[in-house]
Amino acid sequence: MDDESQHRPSLASPRSGAGAQKRLRALVDASPTLMLGLDSDGVIKLVNPAVEAASGLPRSALIGQRFEDLLAPSSEGIDGWTAEAPTERALRTALGGERRVEWRRVPDRPLAWVFGQDVTAARAAERRLRAVEQLAVVGELTGGLAHELRNPLNAAMLELTSLARGFRRADRTDDLASVEVARRELGRIDRLLADFLWFARPLSATTQPGQLSSPAEAVARMVSAEVAARGITLNIDLDPAARPVAFDEDCIRQAIFNMVRNAIDALPGGGRIALRVLAAEETTELEVEDDGPGIAGDPARVFAPFYSTRPWGTGLGLTIARRIATDHGGELRVQSAPGRTVFTLALPAIDP
């Protein structure tokens, strides 16, 4: 008898016979439901392959551990879990991530049984759906409105340029200064309309598999001169183990640029920005981290349309980046504290 079978408790009563035990064990092992048997101290005595797959740990490493030690910290213990109502609590993985799992517990002797349903993908889909619904309200208006405003705006800009030329020839400095103020404000409106058009732009049907390192390096080249002039250090770290993703090159480059642009604006006095491409369990992730002052209040509010703490901002850069992420079946997350803000663009990875 092998070591593993020695510490596996019986799955059926002795009277059911070896054949029945074998069939029941095969059913447990084939089930996609996470199944664990715990002794009276909450120590794991039995797990099925679904638990191994979700946690990334082999059965030999799971047997003998306290079940609570595999879960994200919580003030509530597992004794209150019931078979009738699921309790959602994250299962920590070997790679340092978490899987969202709905748990049910069935008290029994000699083992208590815990059953888990992995809802990680469902929760991610719900977040993407909420983001899409929030963005759809603005998206329905932006395209047509931006096109309609562009024509009179261009005409006004041409007239102001002509007027400024005349004032310059006549050496009318005060009048020229007023014209330049108007031109700057119209330029800001033009940038806002450009963001509107990006926001309303549909996802290209010609997405291609590729590495996120390509648009990441392109954006780093685009901003290299500016970050150097501002006293900002930009470090790039590209994980060679990161799997490819399917994406529209222009859109993802724009999303990354908006994330990096936000980091640059958060460091008016200089600082550090890290641009990383990382391998995750089911996704490939791109992180933009800065050591600025952080985001006051709820960090997620930066994704709201028109939210900006800077007078020159349009408030759509990160909204557009999030829209691009959801259009690609991914998500854009943020974590922030004083001295460290991280935006994470996560896209579904493709098996090589």
- H or E stretch including 347? strand 340-348
Nearest to 26 by CA among 57, 48, 55: 48
Backbone angles phi, psi at 312, to 5 degrees: -95, -5
Provide the number of structural domains found in the chain.
3
CB contact at 8 A, 102 and 116: yes
Q: Is the pTM of this model over 0.75?
A: no
Lowest mean pLDDT, pick from 58-62, 63-67, 78-82, 276-280: 78-82
- 342 and 236 within one domain: yes
- 343 and 211 within one domain: yes
- 112 and 23 within one domain: yes
- Torsion angle of the four alpha carbons 118, 121, 123, 124, in this order, in degrees rounded to the nearest 10: 150
DSSP helix/strand/coil, 140 = helix
**Contacts with 35 (C-beta within 8 Å, 6 or more apart), sequence order:** 28, 46, 47, 48, 50, 51, 113, 114, 115, 116
DSSP β-bridge partners for residue 37 = 46, 113
Specify the amino acid at residue 54.
A
- Tokens representing 345 are 């663009």
- 268 and 178 within one domain: no
pLDDT in tens, 308-329: 766 556 677 888 898 889 889 8
Range among 17-21, 174-178, 208-212, 302-306 rated most confident: 208-212
- 211 and 306 within one domain: yes
Q: CA 33 from chain center: how many Å?
A: 26
- Structural domain that includes position 297: 206-352
* CB burial readout 283-298, b (16+ within 10 A) else e: bbbbbbbbbbeebeee
- CA dist 218 and 77 (Å) reads 48
- 128 and 113 within one domain: no
- 89 and 167 within one domain: no
Single residue among 118, 138, 166 that ends a domain in this structure: 118
Predicted confidence at residue 64, as pLDDT, reads 94
Range among 18-32, 288-302, 329-343 rated most confident: 329-343
Predicted confidence at residue 143, as pLDDT, reads 62
Residue 203 DSSP symbol = P
- CA dist 2 and 108 (Å) reads 27
- CA dist 315 and 307 (Å) reads 5
- 345 and 219 within one domain: yes
Single residue among 155, 177, 201 that ends a domain in this structure: 201
CATH of the domain at 166: 1.10.287
Per-residue pLDDT for 210 more than 80? yes
Nearest to 131 by CA among 204, 205, 197, 199: 199
DSSP β-bridge partners for residue 176 = none
- 104 and 22 within one domain: yes
- H or E stretch including 209? strand 208-210
- CA dist 204 and 309 (Å) reads 31
- 232 and 303 within one domain: yes
Specify the amino acid at residue 80.
G
Per-residue pLDDT for 298 more than 90? no
CATH of the domain at 329: 3.30.565.10
Residue 241 DSSP symbol = T
Q: 89 pLDDT band (50/70/90 cuts)?
A: very high
Burial class (CB in 10 A: 0-12, 13-18, 19+), 23: middle
Lowest mean pLDDT, pick from 11-15, 83-87, 223-227: 11-15
pLDDT in tens, 118-127: 998 888 888 7
- 347 and 234 within one domain: yes
Single residue among 94, 118, 142 that ends a domain in this structure: 118
CATH of the domain at 109: 3.30.450.20
- 344 and 230 within one domain: yes
